[in-house]
Chain A
Amino acid sequence: MGKVFQCPDCGYQYDEDLGDEHEGYAPGTAFESLSDDFVCPDCSVRYKEDFEEVAS
């Protein structure tokens, strides 16, 4: 089971099992492996290090 990370501002969730097809992250892509420049795809005002792991 992959982990799920959530944007603390807008609630966008990155589910490692699903990836994010629109953004070009294949299913199974670990959150850790995303670029350090990753910003929330929905609100763009929270950086990768701001994301919080939530129960999947």
Chain B
Amino acid sequence: MKQYTLATNSGEITYTDRKRYLWLASLFYALFPFVGIGAHALSGNELWLALPLFIAYGMGPVLDWWLGEDENNPPEEIVPLLEEDPYYRTLTMLTVPLHFASLLGAAYWAGTQNLSWWGVLLLAVSAGIANGLGINTGHELGHKKTQLERNLAKIVLAVPAYGHFCIEHNRGHHRDVATPEDPASSRMGESIYKFARREIPGAFRRAWAVEDERLTRKGLSVWSWENEILQSYAVTFAVQISLIAAFGWIMLPFLAIHNFLAWWQLTSANYVEHYGLLRQKEASGRYERCQPHHSWNSNHKYTNLVLFHLERHSDHHAHPTRRYQSLRNFEDVPRLPNGYNGMFPLAYVPPLWFKVMDPRLLALPHIDGDITKVNVDPDEKERLYEKYAPAAGSDGGAENEAEELTNEAA
């Protein structure tokens, strides 16, 4: 395995990235609908089309629990060498055509095999989940500075019909993260279903406004071909119209479900990444800079390997252009109890999510039971303040719950 060596004044530093070849998991995970298609082809039983869902939500959380966490960081001095190594960026770039293959393969199977309605549904859902990861691939590419990577981001985002993502995420979410103004940061007491109704339209509106502003500065109309959102949508339109032409009207529900499921993956990720976390306003009226404690993190091995280290989210927000192979674990940052594949289903059952996450949120060292330091859903504020506000002169409910959680963790 490749060893990086750097001579410094205080001696030689060497580093071997033990995950180097394991990152291939991120590359091939895009193809996981084919596991279901293959099993169906071999067995003739449509139920096997559900296999990818079992892999994602059955096997994923178990593997995260079983394989545990990886807290290793590359030495800071080695990071420039890691960032320059073309191997890592080659993997993200190679993932782009695999997302197209995943959509085309699933569409072909749905359009040609005379499946039952639920067989088509299973295919659309598994392809949608795989291509929700296309947004993750677009995320890694779209944060980089090379034109090639930025163009590939627009292309891969066309698969899940989410071409406004890079502008929305880079120029909107990263600027406003963990503030009440951010439609992509979830609030305490806000269920994922309520969050989605704010996040999905809010993200589109913000992306369009940012792109409009840029094009106006250039003296162009927002409807110009230089609109990078429209460029990506044009690819989506060409691909999805071709699929309808090739495989008929069954593609309409198939693509609608596929696209929605892909967006839903992003909604789920946004929901768990900053739940309840809040940046404070400074005297200048600006929000404090995004700190490591403004993102939830997970070091779980399996899901990080299929998500290009997305779950090391604090470092990503501190240094958004840093490449996935160099993202670091920090001590004392908010930590999720499982990887994303375990946290997403938890979020889908709001009472369970609140039960697990609200005490964990209030127990964070920088919050320390003080609910005024939390990004709370305004509709739930009165109820939650009453539930968690410490009574004057005594230990409040929030502190008690926080202590209980600390004791449980110990």
Q: Taking beta carbons and an 8 Å cutoff, which residues of A are in contact with B?
A: 9-10, 12, 22-25, 39, 42-45, 47
Contact = CB atoms under 8 A, between A and B. Distances in A.
Contacts of B214: 22-24
28 contacts: A9-B319, A10-B145, A10-B319, A10-B320, A10-B321, A22-B214, A24-B214, A24-B215, A24-B218, A39-B171, A39-B175, A42-B145, A43-B143, A43-B174, A43-B320, A43-B321, A44-B170, A44-B174, A44-B175, A44-B320, A45-B174, A45-B175, A45-B290, A45-B317, A45-B318, A45-B319, A45-B320, A47-B286
A15 B195 CA distance: 41
Interface in B250-289: 286, 289
Nearest to A44: B174
B355 interface: no
Give the interface size bracket for B toward A: 20 to 34
Contacts of A23: 214, 217
Nearest to A47: B286
Interface in B181-237: 214-219
Contacts of B318: 45
A44 B171 contact: yes
Nearest to B220: A24
Contacts of B175: 39, 44-45
Contacts of A10: 145, 319-321
Nearest to B217: A24
B76 to A, nearest CB: 15
A25 B217 contact: yes
Nearest to B176: A44
A17 B398 CA distance: 56
Nearest to B150: A22
B409 to A, nearest CB: 31
A45 B317 CA distance: 8
B286 A42 contact: no
Contacts of B170: 44
Contact of A45 (B215, B217, B286, B289): B289
A43 to B, nearest CB: 5
A42 B125 CA distance: 34
Nearest to B171: A44
A44 B218 CA distance: 20
Contacts of B143: 43
A39 B214 CA distance: 13
Contacts of A44: 170-171, 174-175, 320
A33 B345 CA distance: 49
Interface in B312-334: 317-321
B330 to A, nearest CB: 16
A42 B320 CA distance: 8
Contacts of A39: 171, 175
